[in-house]
Chain A
């Protein structure tokens, strides 16, 4: 599968600020083709690779106590796996292909290679991810705060089961699906 610099810059402009940067970046990315339904990241398993969505559609979900929550879709131009990529740990969510998809994998080993060549490029990648994370954190905090206020948490503690989708709406903000209807 061939990825052109132009296409890469078009789809991921923040990672590829110029042609040289895009060229370094494309060298270390590994295309992966996923069939519909195939899992890319499995909750509870160690995750340390960043995946840029090139084509298709990925769906994220999380499960706790055998209850599964939908966390929305990730489309071309976005990415998954960034938390483990920055700070490797067990994945908090499962990511699977909703349809035949192609992702570009950036492994730790590839990043090590790029770091040797150009620490600036790695810093750029980290900065792009960090700015996105900072915004997600802000949106999540604001949304959760509004929910807590609505529930008048400080005044009473009524252990009611929330309506369907309540956890999903919070989860979507955490994973960066900003602007979802609350």
Chain B
């Protein structure tokens, strides 16, 4: 499968048009990285988005609050990470490390800004992906708050957060995907 065919198969890009995928193909920088390579470090600023082409990347967080290092999830071919770096310059909330030799396509923020200015629909699709990811992250806290309030017990809230922010196995990710369903801000469209 060549890179163009690969991009067509990425679920996050299913709303993108042919021309948008063509632009992406020529903008993303594809490179091989060794096992152990750290793409994003927790607590540090980052300014690139990554798409895994081949291999596996572990997303982990040092749970200072729960006193342990934990892998939140393992990402595979076709999955993105670092998306929010494209618009937010703050410190990152997790570390992303290659668990094997990987091939990863990256999009630096500067390149994203150029895309944003040069292709309105492509910019919109990316912006929509970022916004939805942030909403989902914030809903983890609203859901946990509800649990704590219901029990009038702050430890219930902590427990709910721990469940949501520790390892998300296939069952949890399937749940997230089912919850997301096919809700869109507007019906998918491109020129």
Contact = CB atoms under 8 A, between A and B. Distances in A.
B111 interface: no
A127 B87 contact: yes
Interface residues of B, number: 50
B116 interface: yes
Contacts of B128: 86, 126
A65 B186 contact: no
A134 B88 contact: yes
Contacts, number: 153
Interface stretch (A6-14, A29-37, A96-104, A158-166): A158-166
Name the residue among A119, A141, A147 with the largest chain B CB count within 10 angstroms. Answer: A119
Interface stretch (B27-35, B51-59, B72-80, B152-160): B152-160
A115 B145 contact: no
Contacts of B135: 83, 86-87, 133
B149 A69 contact: yes
A64 interface: yes
B84 interface: yes
Contacts of B150: 64-65, 67
B123 interface: yes
Contacts of B177: none
What secondary structure prevails in chain B residues at the interface with A? helix
Nearest to B67: A154
Given A64-B146, A130-B134, A137-B134, A153 B158 contact: yes
Contacts of B134: 86, 130, 133-134, 137
Contacts of B65: 144-145, 148-149, 153-154
A176 B119 CA distance: 32
Contact of A130 (B120, B131, B151, B187): B131
A86 B153 CA distance: 31
B131 A62 contact: no
Closest 10 CB pairs of A and B: A65-B150, A148-B65, A119-B120, A154-B67, A133-B134, A64-B150, A119-B124, A64-B149, A134-B88, A126-B127
Interface of B: 64-67, 84, 87-88, 90-91, 93, 116, 120-121, 123-124, 127-128, 130-132, 134-139, 141-143, 145-158, 161, 180, 183, 185-187, 189
25 contacts: A64-B149, A64-B150, A65-B150, A86-B132, A86-B134, A89-B139, A92-B139, A115-B186, A115-B189, A120-B120, A130-B88, A134-B87, A134-B88, A137-B93, A137-B134, A141-B93, A144-B65, A148-B65, A151-B158, A153-B65, A160-B153, A166-B154, A167-B149, A170-B141, A174-B138
